[in-house]
Structure 1
Amino acid sequence: MTTLTFHELTDLADPQSADSALIPTIHELVVQQNLRSMGHTDLVTPLETRRQAMLGSEYTTRLSFVAERGGEVVGMLHMSLPQKDNRSLVYVDTVAVDDDVEILDALFRLADEVARKNDRSILSTWEPHRGEPEAGDPNALEAPTGVGRIDASEPLPALYLKHGWKLEQTERYSVLPLPAPSDLLARLHAKALAKAGAEYEIVHWQDHTPEEFLEGHASLQRAMSTDVPHGDLEIEETVYDADRILYFEKRIAEEDRGYVLFAARHIPTGDLAGFTRIEYAKAYQEPCFQEETLVKKEHRGHALGMLVKTAAIAELAVVRPGVKRLHTWNAGENSYMLDINVALGFEKRGIESAWQKKLS
């Protein structure tokens, strides 16, 4: 069989370069992978968005490699290296034509090599699974959190285990068909509003954070990196300030994406107590993504999660009238947020597994 060779894409900033010309091929590999693994392409980043997302920044260095065989691109390795925090971590994404195990095996070895060259000791990634084996299944591998299982006999989990990766956590992958019933949203919102009481009010914006809320938005993002369940994943607090929020919004615009954010403001202190953010690719009409929802520890117990989520979902009908599906992921051990999603009508569609590998 023809030998695999690897080529690093170092000239992606120039849209006319030979490296940039490979991006459509990489994109098609990802499309086909998602069709095999999930049966749809809702989760595939649009092509032009992918071009921008592959470029690095002061916050994240991005390294991309293609695997070639006989002059044909048959695989891709993408690595994201945080620069302001979590500097021992590298996030890894691999794809191979037809999920070819030989190609993926070589990409895993390359990932180890690149991580060591860049002084990174922990590799991290997420993988989707359409189903979840029953408890007691001899092939079931349970997450250390005690919630969520995957089929360890499938080729990809077997490959992770072979290369010394460890399953650390699973998340439930769910989809809410839209539009959601307006009477259900109204009833759940009213109930949450009554429990929140007079000390909280809802504030919201689209794509750009008002200056008065920049610091509050940054504090919510910092809390997301520490206050939500991470199992035994080694993740440090993400350093967020007003400048990083502004940079995030700049990249959102450059990647032709948008978002709506609803937050609960604690009136006596002015603190943003909780929030939810829904993102979407402007090139797509039907899918959107519930990316983050958090209520700060000191403000829990007031139904703020349900309050902001019902308000945000109702707003989607205004800002994205063609939307049909809202995708989200929840740590299985986060029963409070999971209960909110079940009440809203989210349907379980699969499991996502979180893997890490510590290099010696």
Structure 2
Amino acid sequence: MSNVELVEITTDSPADLIDAWVAVRTAAHAVDEINTALPWRDSNVGGLAHPVPGGVALVFLLRRDGEAVGHARIGMPTQSNTTVGWIALGVVPELRRQGIGRAALDLLFARLRAEGRTRAMSDAALALPDGVQRDEAGAAFLAATGFRQVGSEVRRDIDLSTVDVDVETRLHEAALAKAGEDYEVVRFTEPAPEEYLGDLAVMNGRLSEDTAGYIENWEPAPFDTDKIIAYQDAAAARLFRRHHVAVRHKPSGHLVAWSFLAVVAEDGRHADHEITVVIPEHRGHRLGVLVKTGLHRYARETEPNLRWIQTWNAAENGHMIAINEELGFEPIETYAEYAKDL
């Protein structure tokens, strides 16, 4: 299938190429994703202009004999895991099992080698015993092409329209009482107040250290205030509205617990619950419950059309899983991470 080619997509690409790239992403999304926001055009184009900091991203349209048949992306970390290239690949559903994916993967491997990367990584969905029925073709494809599983996370969703608000309120008030007078809740929508940036960098670094252990041979990434600002700029370019709830420790003046979610402005109904972290010295005060219940309350105020929130947890993170299930999150599927030495 040597007539498959990678056409790199940038902000300077002609509009028809960008339109084709968004169209094939949308077509693949329809069968590969379960109840998530669509890959909206303006959000994706914004991402081309403002890549996520700490790495380099290359985005491609797949073409066969001039026809758009899929999409691909390579993410290459630059501050840690600098031998890794992260691959995302999708083929238009009606053209699958024709060798397009394998041909594209060979081209992506060659590009990674040319960039000096020696380890390819990717992920794929797996069904849970009590979860949603799931096509596991992506995982089978990775296994067949030499990848091996090196980690996994379980996705959980909550439907805000079905939540018992009285129960949530009781959980929030009980957590607030457990925290005591030394802690107070703060809320903000990006951009974050300047006085919080340093603490957000510390908590991002803490989370990076915690989660690195869940994936084989994965290194934590460094964070500073400049990187936090760059993340905010990249999110704004993608038309994300990001809402935060944190807990401030009054005696020290520092934020010591934090949670936030991101809503794509073009959608408004779906949110990714991206981070929840509590500094170790302040664990045991129900601060995790406090920020998560507070975030749901804040989301209802700021996002009236929001209905679904999704989050991910490694199986080893039993404490956070327990909190999510207490709030009403239900398991949907597993996302497994895979690696292959190049």
Instruction: Indicate the residue corresponding to 1:175 in structure 2.
Output: 157
Instruction: Indicate the residue corresponding to 2:319 in structure 1.
Output: 336
**Any idea what SS the aligned residue of 2:149 has?**
strand
Query: Given the alignment of the two structures, is residue 67 of structure 1 paired with residue 65 of structure 2, yes or no?
Result: no
Query: Given the alignment of the two structures, is residue 103 of structure 1 paired with residue 107 of structure 2, yes or no?
Result: no
Q: Distance in 2 between matches of 1:111 and 1:296?
A: 39
Instruction: Indicate the residue corresponding to 2:11 in structure 1.
Output: 13
Q: Distance in 2 between matches of 1:56 and 1:167?
A: 31
Q: How far does residue 266 in structure 1 lie from its aligned partner after superposition?
A: 1.8
Counterpart residue identity of residue 267, structure 2: Y
Q: Distance in 2 between matches of 1:126 and 1:43?
A: 19
Within a 5 Å distance, the mapping from 1:40-119 to structure 2 comes to: 40=35, 42-55=36-49, 57=51, 59-98=54-93, 100-101=96-97, 102-119=99-116
Query: Given the alignment of the two structures, is residue 31 of structure 1 paired with residue 26 of structure 2, yes or no?
Result: yes
Instruction: Indicate the residue corresponding to 1:277 in structure 2.
Output: 260
**Any idea what SS the aligned residue of 1:228 has?**
helix
Deviation string 1:266-303 (CA, Å, 9 cap, x unpaired) is 22222321211110111112111101111122221111
Q: Structure 1 residues 133 and 182 mapped into 2: Cα distance closer, same or farther (>3 Å)?
A: closer
Deviation string 1:202-256 (CA, Å, 9 cap, x unpaired) is 1221011111111001111111211136424332221211111111111222221
* Contact residue 34 and residue 43 of structure 1 kept, 8 A: no
Counterpart residue identity of residue 177, structure 1: D
* Contact residue 46 and residue 239 of structure 2 kept, 8 A: no
Instruction: Indicate the residue corresponding to 2:230 in structure 1.
Output: 247
2:272 maps to which of 267, 289, 310: 289
Counterpart residue identity of residue 127, structure 1: A
Instruction: Indicate the residue corresponding to 2:146 in structure 1.
Output: 164
Q: Structure 1 residues 232 and 283 mapped into 2: Cα distance closer, same or farther (>3 Å)?
A: closer
Query: Given the alignment of the two structures, is residue 124 of structure 1 paired with residue 106 of structure 2, yes or no?
Result: no
Deviation string 1:101-155 (CA, Å, 9 cap, x unpaired) is 41111122222111111111222222223x2258xxxxxxxxxxxxx9x99x943
What is the RMSD computed on CA atoms of the aligned residues?
Answer: 2.3
Counterpart residue identity of residue 223, structure 2: Y
* Contact residue 66 and residue 73 of structure 1 kept, 8 A: yes
Instruction: Indicate the residue corresponding to 2:3 in structure 1.
Output: 4
More deviation, 262-271/58-67: 58-67
Counterpart residue identity of residue 38, structure 2: V
The aligned length equals: 337
Counterpart residue identity of residue 73, structure 1: A
Instruction: Indicate the residue corresponding to 1:234 in structure 2.
Output: 217
Higher relative contact order (CA 8 A, sep 6+): 2
TM-score (norm 2): 0.91
Q: How far does residue 159 in structure 1 lie from its aligned partner after superposition?
A: 2.0
Counterpart residue identity of residue 332, structure 2: R
Instruction: Indicate the residue corresponding to 1:143 in structure 2.
Output: none
Q: How far does residue 44 in structure 1 lie from its aligned partner after superposition?
A: 3.1
Counterpart residue identity of residue 39, structure 2: T
Within a 5 Å distance, the mapping from 1:303-342 to structure 2 comes to: 303-342=286-325
Q: Distance in 1 between matches of 2:7 and 2:208?
A: 31
Q: Distance in 2 between matches of 1:125 and 1:116?
A: 16
**Any idea what SS the aligned residue of 1:249 has?**
helix
Q: Distance in 2 between matches of 1:331 and 1:39?
A: 19
Q: Structure 1 residues 154 and 308 mapped into 2: Cα distance closer, same or farther (>3 Å)?
A: closer
Instruction: Indicate the residue corresponding to 1:142 in structure 2.
Output: none
* Contact residue 158 and residue 310 of structure 2 kept, 8 A: yes
Counterpart residue identity of residue 5, structure 1: V
* Contact residue 270 and residue 309 of structure 2 kept, 8 A: yes
**Any idea what SS the aligned residue of 1:250 has?**
helix
Q: Structure 1 residues 156 and 79 mapped into 2: Cα distance closer, same or farther (>3 Å)?
A: same
Q: Distance in 2 between matches of 1:166 and 1:72?
A: 32
Q: Distance in 1 between matches of 2:16 and 2:327?
A: 43
Q: Distance in 2 between matches of 1:56 and 1:166?
A: 32
The gaps in structure 1 that reach 5 residues or longer are 135-147
Q: Structure 1 residues 3 and 237 mapped into 2: Cα distance closer, same or farther (>3 Å)?
A: closer
